[in-house]
Amino acid sequence: MITFVNLKELKPGMVLAEHVYLKNNLLLAGGSVIKPNYINRLQKCGIDQFAVYDKVLEQQYILSNPVEKFYAKKYSTLAKIFSNLNNEEELDIGPIYKVIETILATVLKNQDDLLLLTGYSSTADIYLYAHSLDVCIYSLITAKAMKLSTEEYLLLGMGALLHDIGKFKVPDHILSKKESLTIDEFSEIKKHSAYGFYMLKRISQMNPTVSRIVLEHHERCDGSGYPKHLRNKEIHKLSKIIAIADIYDALTSDRVFKKKILPHEAAEYLLSISKSQLDSEITKIFLKNIAIYPKGCQVLLNTNEVAIVLDSNPKMPLRPRLKILTNNKGNFLQHPREFDMSSVLNVFITHVFS
Ligand SMILES: [Fe+2]
């Protein structure tokens, strides 16, 4: 049965019976389980009436799943590492290898688990950690498809986790500025790859290839990148992988100054610059292996129905096989039905839920 509650009565574990909109933008989908952080978000939006099912889910369904917990743990490890590096304290690179090895083990076992978590954690305070982990996950998945060596996996993972470390040297007010940057501010941001290079260079245990990757992650094959305007063959293969993962993650994550775009739009953008700025072969491998809509990901269709991805379709990655969970008003279907998007071409994904 459906009941209506106000914000004060809304409790974690309740399940929304209808979509919640804010100024015509979908905020939460019908079928979403209310989590404590959703209530905080809704408080800020001033919405005060919600249709919910009367069944409240048990605590274990509200809490993060084990993969999310694993991910959260990595944030704190990275925060410690980044702060040590920034304060020029002696750095033990052992914990960084541990993070990489755990991600690598999951990538080799079931990469869909990790893909479900990328692109989601984007509050300003943890953006750098979330982005670094996402880039590491995407890079290692690409490396696996490229059949790189174990040594290359480790160098790539390390370079990916530390690629933006130099941003600690860029003033906060520039990094978090919502308006467009001035020319001077933009050139300050562009220094972060060189700042990162020098931060890593002073660490004796650090492999010089890692510092090189950090320096080169904004170089582009046509010479339009920075800081050295290197061209195709001058850029390390591992730096090229990170460049692609970095662009993709930046486009598909919310930032203080821009909204994220949909995974397929980011894929189209990467393809559009793959022949000039990026390594086109690596871009193809990246897009083939990063499930645009990974298994388990919840999406909204142009029919206003909510669905969950059952399987990706390697031949048509933008048209996965789905299970439709709600009708167009957000009400749960008693019998969710399977739907293959490759068979009905006028149905498309308009939103990915995080
Ligand atoms: Fe960067």
- Chain region(s) in the chain for CATH 3.90.105.10: 2-62
- Chain region(s) in the chain for CATH 1.10.3210.10: 66-289
**What percentage of the chain carries pLDDT values higher than 90?**
34
For the domain 66-289, what is the CATH superfamily, name and number? Hypothetical protein af1432 (1.10.3210.10)
Task: Give the residue-averaged pLDDT of 274-288.
Answer: 93
Q: How confident is the model over 283-316, as pLDDT tens digits?
A: 999 988 886 787 777 888 999 898 888 887 767 7
321 Cα to the center of ligand 1, angstroms? 35
Q: Is 200 helix (H, G, I), strand (E, B) or coil?
A: helix
Partners of 11 in the β-ladder: none
Sequence-separated (6 or more) residues with CB below 8 Å from residue 213:
155, 156, 159, 160, 163, 236, 238, 239, 242
247 Cα to the center of ligand 1, angstroms? 9
Q: What is the Cα–Cα distance from 185 to 57, expressed in whole angstroms?
A: 48
| Site of tokens 């610059």 | 273
For residue 112, name the pLDDT band (cuts at 50, 70, 90): low
192 Cα to the center of ligand 1, angstroms? 7
186 Cα to the center of ligand 1, angstroms? 12
The structural architecture, per CATH, of the domain 2-62 is: Alpha-Beta Complex (3.90)
Q: What is the Cα–Cα distance from 165 to 181, expressed in whole angstroms?
A: 20
Report the Cα 319 to chain-centroid distance in Å: 20
Stretch among 29-43, 116-130, 224-238 having the lowest mean pLDDT: 116-130
217 Cα to the center of ligand 1, angstroms? 6
